[in-house]
Structure 1
Amino acid sequence: MAAAAPVSVPRIKLGTQGLEVSAQGLGCMGMSAFYGPPKPEPDMIKLIHHAVAAGVTFLDTSDIYGPHTNEILLGKALQDGVREKVELVTKFSIAFADGKWEIRGDPAYVRAACEGSLKRLGVDCIDLYYQHRVDKRVPIEIGELKKLVEEGKIKYIGLSEASASTIRRAHAIHPITAVQLEWSLWSRDVEEDIIPTCRELGIGIVAYSPLGRGFFSSGAELVESLSEQDSRKRMPRFQPENLVKNAQIFERVNAMAARKGCTPSQLALAWVHHQGSDVCPIPGTTKIENFNQNVEALSVKLTPDEMAELESYAAAGEVLGDRYAQMANTWKDSETPPLSSWKFE
């Protein structure tokens, strides 16, 4: 393995069910999918090994990344004793067939998806298994995930992009350990309802895209470097009509970072870390030098005044464009029918 990053990575309790993870995780999606062409497998395995050696052991993937190729990559990286050192996370529910996306949460699909992930990852148990998106046709109370826990195929259950009411309903059937959501300086609407609900119920919070999908690393210059295969090319916040205004947010963050002697990405990531010990951001990267920089964000300290100043840069109305081109299948649109409507086979 490569030499570890110099900053010590603390451990945190994620939720109240017993899961302990590194205080910062590693999002692995961009290694294989959505952010341009897949990266060379040997380089990505080296990066994963470097992360684990550095103390970042909370590894995040999904069956839709590829599809499947990111889980296969993780499976290779977890060989030779690495599996025992990590908290392995994957997800199900987004299916891609015949050129179309479909969200599925029916019991037969949940079980088949889990079995497929176990095989690709080369493991007999998944530490944390998320429902990646909520199937609005299937009551969230359907207990297939609970059965998988009882069978020892998964240890803990998570939800991603779920509304507060969906989280409550699911938690009443089986404890939810973590909720994954987009949370960063410029994605803060989850603070109104979802974050308080998680804290009330003792559910851990996992922040994906804590760097605004790379925006807080380089601002508008990021868009110029993206390949046509990169999904960010089509995201509203990166469109020309919104980017000019949004770039001003980055410039303010960049100026504050210069005053504090850190990079803008470290400052933005430190802001997420300062949200509480129940929050674990999972920045993704494909480069060891960027990974090391992300870990060093753990040493950036912010005062309450500095936190408030940062938040003012991206206050409501300052950020132009939605997170996604279509906001369907996010937490804003994740209600499911009542359990009484479901016909069990």
Structure 2
Amino acid sequence: MAAGVRRIKLGPQGLEVSAQGLGCMGMSFSYGLPKPEPDMIKLIHHAINSGITHLDTSDVYGPHTNEILIGKALKGVEREKVQIATKFAARMLPSGEHVACGHPDYVREACEASLKRLDVDYIDLYYVHRIDTTIPVEITVGALKQLVEEGKVRHIGLSEASPETIRRAHAVHPITAVQLEWSLWTRDAEEVVIPTCRELGIGIVSFSPLGRGFFASGTKLTENLTSNDFRKSFPRFQKENVEHNNKLFEQVTQLATRKGCTPSQLALAWVHHQGDDVCPIPGTTKIENLESNIKALSVKLTPEEMAELESIASANAAKGDRYPPAMMAHTWRFANTPPLSSWKAT
């Protein structure tokens, strides 16, 4: 194991991962055109050899192509050396509309398909990517529990789940991790979601810990987005909000300069300092950015520096929602499901 990448445990069920993961979505999906496959395989190998062994993907990335990429990259890699996290339930229709599906038949169908694309016998951490608000969560997690019993899934996770949904799911089968957006400019989960996870002993996986790249370059990022980069539709990246949000980036940059690190390293270090139950999964398509992110593990923040960052990045520091309206409708605030008593098997 490479020096500098410590190991942490997510939940009490025995899942151990690198304290920082690698978000793989942007290699195949959403952030412009898919990147060259040989380059991405090289990047994944470099991550594993550097000690980053927690790889995060989803069946919707591509769709499907990101899982296939990871499957190819892991050929010849010792299976127990990596922790594969993938997801199901978030589906994009041809119209572009996002829907969630948690039907038990689909749970099994999606898992079998992901296993085939990844070319593995089991998934280390299998998330419900978005909560289906038409089906009791107990039904979805009950189907996942069967997959655990069959050895096809080792651990169950939820993404963008409300506190009530987390509690109900956890009562059916232990939830190992909850994935949520958590960064210097996205802190709403601190209100009730994160305290719920900690009360139940559930690990926390932070996606977009660098503000979808904003804390790497500020307004320069928004100026260089391609037409097929889905961040162009995000409110925080719109012209009317960027100038305000860049002030936050500039303040973070000033503190980073004093610390002798980059603003992205400082932003990532802030997430790492939230606790040993938190694993951020910054994504990248460049080896130099991967190496920079790993160095964030060595950035130590004093209580005074944490307090300064807290004052800079208050809960409402960023201007604009984190998703467009249609996607916001699938986030944790709206992720409650009907009571179990309402379920009629179909």
Would you say the 8 A contact 2:169–2:175 is kept in 1?
yes
In the other structure, the counterpart of 2:27 is: 31
In the other structure, the counterpart of 1:145 is: 144
In the other structure, the counterpart of 1:315 is: 314
Q: Deviations over 1:74-133 (max 9, x none)?
A: 000010134331000000001223323221000111110001000000011000000000
Would you say the 8 A contact 1:7–1:298 is kept in 2?
no
| CA-atom RMSD in angstroms | 1.1
Please give the residue correspondences for 1:115-264 in structure 2 after superposition, counting only pairs within 5 Å.
Answer: 115-142=112-139, 143-264=142-263
Distance 2:315 2:77 in 1: 47
Please give the residue correspondences for 1:87-126 in structure 2 after superposition, counting only pairs within 5 Å.
Answer: 87-99=83-95, 100-126=97-123
Aligned pair in 2 of structure 1 residues 97, 319: CA closer, same or farther (>3 Å)?
closer
Q: Which amino acid aligns with 2:36?
A: P
SS at match of 1:102: strand
Of residues 63, 78, 84, the one that matches 2:80 is 84
SS at match of 1:256: helix
Would you say the 8 A contact 2:59–2:87 is kept in 1?
yes
Distance 2:271 2:3 in 1: 17
Q: Which amino acid aligns with 1:332?
A: R
The answer to whether the aligner puts 1:56 opposite 2:52 as a matched pair is yes
Distance 2:198 2:44 in 1: 30
In the other structure, the counterpart of 1:339 is: 340
Distance 1:217 1:64 in 2: 26
In the other structure, the counterpart of 1:40 is: 36
Distance 1:342 1:90 in 2: 27
SS at match of 2:62: coil
In the other structure, the counterpart of 1:74 is: 70
SS at match of 1:329: coil
Distance 2:221 2:19 in 1: 27
Q: Which amino acid aligns with 2:304?
A: D
CA drift at 1:262: 0.2
In the other structure, the counterpart of 2:5 is: 9
Q: Deviations over 1:288-330 (max 9, x none)?
A: 0000000000000001111111121121333100110121000
Distance 1:137 1:294 in 2: 39
CA drift at 1:199: 0.5
SS at match of 1:141: helix
SS at match of 2:165: helix
In the other structure, the counterpart of 2:331 is: 330
Task: Please report the TM-score for the alignment, with normalisation by the length of structure 1.
Answer: 0.97
In the other structure, the counterpart of 2:265 is: 266
CA drift at 1:32: 0.2
**More displaced stretch, 189-198 vs 96-105:** 96-105
Distance 1:81 1:234 in 2: 38
Q: Deviations over 1:191-230 (max 9, x none)?
A: 1101111011010000000000000000011011111100
Aligned pair in 2 of structure 1 residues 276, 310: CA closer, same or farther (>3 Å)?
same
Task: Please report the TM-score for the alignment, with normalisation by the length of structure 2.
Answer: 0.97
Would you say the 8 A contact 1:130–1:160 is kept in 2?
yes
Distance 2:115 2:40 in 1: 20
Show structure 1 runs of 5+ residues with no match. none
Q: Deviations over 1:152-187 (max 9, x none)?
A: 110000000001111000000000000000000010
Q: Which amino acid aligns with 2:48?
A: V
In the TM superposition, structure 1's runs of 4+ consecutive aligned residues that sit over 3 Å from their partners are: none
Aligned residues: 341
Distance 2:329 2:93 in 1: 18
Distance 1:37 1:55 in 2: 28
The answer to whether the aligner puts 1:285 opposite 2:284 as a matched pair is yes
SS at match of 2:138: coil
Question: Identity of aligned pairs, percent?
Answer: 69
In the other structure, the counterpart of 2:297 is: 298
Would you say the 8 A contact 2:186–2:315 is kept in 1?
no
Distance 1:313 1:343 in 2: 50
Distance 2:78 2:333 in 1: 37
Distance 1:297 1:101 in 2: 34
Would you say the 8 A contact 1:118–1:124 is kept in 2?
yes
Distance 1:41 1:332 in 2: 36
Would you say the 8 A contact 1:164–1:197 is kept in 2?
yes
